Chain A
Amino acid sequence: MVNSGRKRVSPAHRPWLLLVLLLLFFAALAWVYLVPGSVPGGLARQVDASLVASGVSSRVTAVLLNFRAYDTLLECFILLLGVMVVWSLRSAGTTEPRQPAVGAILAALERLLLPLMILVAGYLLWAGSSQAGGAFQAGAILGGAGVLLLLDSSPFLDILPKKALVWGITLAPLFFLAVGVAALTQGRPFLTYRFQEASLVIVALEVAAAFSIGLCLATLFAGRLPEYESEPAQDKFAAKRGE
């Protein structure tokens, strides 16, 4: 500690500086919003004009899964990346077993809430094509149901076969890619749908996305690679060596 005679001052030690910066940022945002003419009309008109061709009647879903499906594709991959990072960090964290559940109240809550959550997720998924809702919201509810199960030390992620879990997590990104590439092979731009199929493709994508997002979020909360018994693999090698 020879070279650091001066005390280090992090932003947290000077909260007022942070507040001033925040207020300046807020003022800049307010200025952009309040000065007339600085905000263009937005793309609402274009969206409304081509809504009929999108296959769904909800503007948000039309943007997310048709006009800007590319963004949603990347979001699915980012979630997948998050799970991969968490799994690769497994050794960094402590893998102590979860504390035993708080017991009866949580169990009763689970019994009441889980069916309701699955129902709500399904409704949100379906409602997404015409009103508020959609894959991410439904996926979040499913993820919440998974978290609730994990809180009760339910080992549902450990029981799930590894292959099923990995396929479940990668289902949405892979399906998205497949849809995009299928469009390419038919001579259309990446991730575009034919008008007749648009509705069906969007609903299928949403179902896959909600499922994968829910599984991804629950896996993220578990925070580690599920523990698999390594016996089968060893047995296989042992059998090979025996031959």
Chain B
Amino acid sequence: MTFVGLIMRNIGSRPLRAALTASAVAIGVMAVVALGVLTTSLKESATQILDVGNADFTIAQKNSSDIINGTISQDDIDAIGRIPGVRKAVGALISTDPYDENNPLVIEVGLNPADQAPFGLNILEGKAYTADSDDQVMLGYALAKQIDKTVGDSITIGGHDYTVTGLYRTNVSFGNSTMMFPLAYLQGLNRLSGQVTLGFVQVEDGASIARVRAEIDSQYAQLTTIETAEDFGRADRNLTLISAANTGGSLLAGLIAITGVLNTSLLSFFERIREFGIYRSIGWSRFRVIALVIGEAVVVSVVGAAVGVLLGWGAINVLENLRQLKGVFKPLYDAGIFWRSLGFGLTVAFLGALYPALRAALVAPITAVRRE
């Protein structure tokens, strides 16, 4: 019998308790995985907007809870386009509308036809709408496939019929699931005449992005420039809140899992006082007793973590298919999830079993021998 074999034997002798402990860890890991993937994916989707049209940076309304709900004067974007060093500044209006039961939240982009190329839009089929039309629409190719529409077809949104004039691809994946309208029309539809949601700026070759950003930040107090994901996090309070919820949720999940492991380990300790005393009386060091208790918790927790990863994956699938998140949330898995889950399991095992392990190590051999 090896020491690891002894650990496995002890776990196997109380299968129900081991299963319940592993369940506590699994639920914690599931929460960490689901929240982590949700947050990472939402961040990734949100920050993809920074790459639209190969812009050097994006302009948004300052202190907005969600930069996609902010408004910027189109005149300001036009003025920014004239700042020395700026090659092109494009304004786009973004809104959402339900399409059908399967697509309850479709992103609509209002953009002038002349700004489509700088916006990174590539027409795959058909042609652009005209700038002043009120019954024309273009579809991202992924959305067109999803709703089974192509050039020349008619679609109805909000009781209004539109003709599909073209299908497009953008340089960011989420853009391919959007639909696009003439800017003036979408502004009118949303009662936001002369307003856009975001501005996308490309600077001249050789010009300093930092200098241009500083110029805009100083001239337009109501605006903020976003170049990096960190800038995005500062500008978008929703993303900050999601990150905070992720951290808080993970800590809470950890606390619940630690409590679960502590509870069962402590119960196990009280039941096994005599056993620990016998180990000590036959010469086991305190360190070995600690290793036994923590080893048992680690094995159970790692198994729980593995189950938790699978449960987390299942939870993500459920979230992905939720009506409210359909088309908005596209899960993004990374290898770090596995390591985070393993780290979570090991941390939970160590913290949950440490106190019972120390208590076990301090059992006086004679007390245990007399305990009948």
Binding partners A and B = no
- Partner-A contacts on B (CB < 8 A): none
- Partner-B contacts on A (CB < 8 A): none
